[in-house]
Structure 1
Amino acid sequence: MKSIHPILVQILIIQFLAALCVSQDFDFFYFVQQWPGSYCDTKQSCCYPATGKPASDFSIHGLWPNYNDGSYPSNCDPNSPLDSSEISDLTSRMQRSWPSLSCPSSDGLKFWSHEWQKHGTCSESVLDQHGYFQSTLNLQNKANLLQILRNAGIQPNGGFYSLDSIKDALTQGIGYTPGIECNVDKSGNSQLYQIYLCVDTSASNFIQCPILPSSRCSSRIEFPSF
């Protein structure tokens, strides 16, 4: 029997693994929003995007495929870079709802490209590029986090609130328990940073989280102004 050339074997293995990764199954999405005041109020600081200071509201960080055990796939298809023409009709909404606060100031495309490459490519069996970003924007419209917190008397005014009160308000407002992540301000105070909601694999409906991320929060946390 004629043997297969070793280089051909390597190519076939690479193609197989790439196809396997692209079709990677996952169990749910984390839909992650961040408070810009907490992103900026750290030693790292921030830079406003080229379009100016974002609104004083929670902004999108990303939509991340996850497994029920807490692990997650990433960078599943290196041959699928973000094509900005695919999301041209969404760009203005994304600049408002999904701004980049990293330095130097930018138009957001690098941030969105990173989110697509690391996370979006792992959901290509469900969502194409336009669908990935469209679904994420739709999810933000379904969960008005700031209004829910304000209705419970929790305001972004630099005050301190119990972690339980924030979690309870969001649970009642959304119907599912959120994950809360904190970071630390320049004075060393624990502050409300990111809120994780879980979404089904169609990227359409909120669900109860199979697993919640580590909070790294104190029992009382600051909600800084922005």
Structure 2
Amino acid sequence: MRIILFAIAYYLVHAAGQTVFASNCPSDSPVSCSSSASASCCFESPGGVLLQTQFWDYSPSTGPSDLFTLHGLWPDNCDGTYEQFCDTSIEINNDGSTVKSILVDQFNDEKLYNNLNAVWKDINGKDHSLWAHEWNKHGTCINTIKPSCYSNYQTNQDVYDYYSILYNLFETLPTYKWLVDAGITPSNSKTYTKAQIQNALSSNFGQNVYFKCDSNNAISEVWYFHHIKGSLLQNDFIPIAPLSSSNCPSTGILFPPKQGGDDGGDGGDDKDPVVTKTTTSGSIPTGIPSRGYIDLSGKSGCLISNGKWYTSGTCATYKFAQSTYGGITITSSKGGCGINSSTNEFVCGSSVDASKNQFQVKDSTIGYGGNYNWCLGSQTGGGSTAQTSIKLSDGSCSSFKLQIASK
């Protein structure tokens, strides 16, 4: 029933004087991650897991007091890793200055634009910049809506379809309503168990749901994992169990009301918990130094400023910074650091755009696209002056971790 309602909603959004961009994929198209078929306009690969993600920003509050706001639609690989910023040729302006003209002027969908303005909120008030970021980082990696998949592609048609499908999928996943219907209401005093929250969400979604807690043990994000049958344009989303494990404790989980919202507590004498500011961007996360060396686990030496491993000489000082919408950027004295798309090697230099290469840091180890395993690559020079490249592991080599050592 949920899928049927979603299909009806999608049709209604497109029907009023607009072209319906239907897919020509056969009804028996394979489900993503279910076969070894190559990526095509009718088979989503490698990003065969589609995550619809939502925020609960409560202090300062962002969006309506009775809504988990829209975060994005992310194509993750079937093993939990992911690609990012896949095609610069179809990116839109980072500041979001063109999103209104795309939705309203090009595709005559002011209703969709207004709906997105109500639910897709950035904690710093830069809503359209968030929209652009989500398309540029994640939307450009969905291969079944590449321009070549359209029989008569119109500029930005893929952007419009991504936003439209994202919004309609979000509307079928009313996290706040599902929690409240199960008696889980925002409160400054009451706490909940992981099982209570999971049951409230999974009983409606049909699969377990990933949810994340912040440093206050307060729920902050919810992710709904899906496979997809055929093209994204077919809207045939299939709920699946999450590929990530919740960091929330088994008990004592807070669901704070957004500032200015009603306190749904039980009126008891429980002491109000101390709640600090939640952020979706800003300063570097606690535990990650702003500067440091990069070592290889189990190996001598360290990385030098060009991103290569060196067993003698001076270690390079790397800088770590929080990117605007999550992820960590890394720079050295040579310039920005990133991953060479052809070789998967870690490189640093003046030609590397650090903002388009967002790393993750967990327990002082560095990952990229959800992959925290690294291998040795090609070597230049010899003896004590040899420099060896490092690359993301593909599972076929002896791997190690990249570790941040405080300077």
Please, what TM-score do these two structures have when normalized by structure 2?
A: 0.43
1:54-65 matched pairs, under 5 angstroms = 54-56=63-65, 57-65=67-75
* Partner Cα separation in structure 1 for residue 245 and residue 209 of structure 2: 12
Give the secondary-structure state (helix, strand or coil) at the position aligned to 1:214: coil
For the pair 1:194 / 2:224, whether they are aligned, the reply is no
Q: CA deviation at 1:35?
A: 1.0
Q: Counterpart amino acid of 1:54?
A: G
C-alpha distance 126-25 of structure 1, shift in aligned 2 (>3 A) = farther
> Residue type matched to 1:216 in 2?
N
User: Partner letter of residue 33 of structure 1?
Assistant: Q
Aligned 8 A contact 2:45 2:77 in 1 = no
Asked if 1:154 is matched to 2:184, the reply is: yes
Q: 1:219 to 1:59 in 2, by over 3 A?
A: same
1:95 aligned partner, one-letter code: N
How much has 1:208 moved relative to structure 2?
1.0
Alignment of 1:41-60 (within 5 A): 46=60, 54-56=63-65, 57-60=67-70
Equivalent runs, 1:147-226 vs 2, <5 Å: 147-158=177-188, 159-184=190-215, 189-201=216-228, 202=232, 203-209=235-241, 211-220=242-251, 221-226=253-258
Unaligned runs of 5+ in 2: 1-38, 93-97, 147-157, 259-407
CA distance in structure 1 between the aligned counterparts of 2:181 and 2:227, rounded to whole angstroms? 27
Residue 24 (structure 1) shift:
5.9
Aligned to 1:101: 123
SS in 1 for 2:47: coil
Q: How many residues end up aligned between the 2 structures? A: 186
Deviation at 1:165, TM superposition (A): 0.7
What do the CA deviations read for 1:42-92 (whole angstroms, capped 9, x no partner)? xxxx4x7xxxx6211111111000112110011001122224222232221
Partner deviation per Cα, 1:158-180 (whole Å, 9 max, x = no partner): 32100111001101022111011
Check the 8 A contact 1:135/1:204 in 2, yes or no: no
Helix, strand or coil: the match of 2:167? helix
Contact 2:75 2:141 in 1 (8 A): yes
State the 4+ residue runs in structure 1 displaced beyond 6 angstroms.
Answer: none
Aligned counterpart in structure 2 of residue 135 of structure 1, from 150, 158, 165: 165
1:219, distance to aligned residue in structure 2 (A): 1.4
Correspondence for 1:120: 139
What is the deviation of 1:117? 0.4
The alignment partner of 2:201 has SS state of helix
Which of 139, 145, 148 is equivalent to 2:175?
145
| Cα drift, residue 120 of structure 1 | 0.5
CA RMSD of aligned residues (A): 2.2
Match in the other structure for 1:10: none
Quick one: higher RCO (CA 8 Å, sep 6+), 1 or 2?
1
- From the two aligned structures, give the one with the greater helix fraction: 1
**Which structure would you say has the larger Rg?**
2
In 2, distance between residues paired with 1:216 and 1:31? 18
CA deviations over 1:130-176 (Å, ceiling 9, x no partner): 11111111111111111111111000123210011100110102211
TM-score relative to the length of structure 1 = 0.75
Deviation at 1:126, TM superposition (A): 2.8
Using the aligned pairs only, state the percent identity: 28
Q: Could you list the per-position Cα deviations for residues 76-123 of structure 1 after superposition, in whole angstroms to 9, with x for gaps in the alignment?
A: 011222242222322211111111113xx33x1111111110000001
| Kept in 2: contact 1:176–1:206 (CA 8 A) | no
Measured at CA, do residues 30 and 224 of structure 1 come closer, stay the same or move farther in structure 2, by a change above 3 Å?
A: same
State the distance in 2 between where 1:132 and 1:193 align.
24
Distance 1:206 1:182 in 2: 25
Paired with 2:246 and 2:207, the residues of 1 have a C-alpha distance of: 16
Q: In structure 2, how many angstroms separate the alpha carbons of the residues matched to 1:87 and 1:100? A: 19
Residue 118 of structure 2 aligns with an amino acid whose one-letter code is: R
One-letter amino acid of the counterpart of residue 73, structure 2: L
- Equivalent in the alignment of 1:67: 77
CA distance in structure 2 between the partners assigned to 1:191 and 1:124 by the alignment = 35
How far has the Cα of 1:205 moved from its partner?
Answer: 2.0
Distance 1:205 1:24 in 2: 15
Q: Which residue of 2 aligns with 1:11?
A: none
Cα distance in 1 for residues equivalent to 2:224 and 2:238: 7
SS at match of 2:130: helix
Preserved CA contact (<8 Å) 1:24 1:73: no
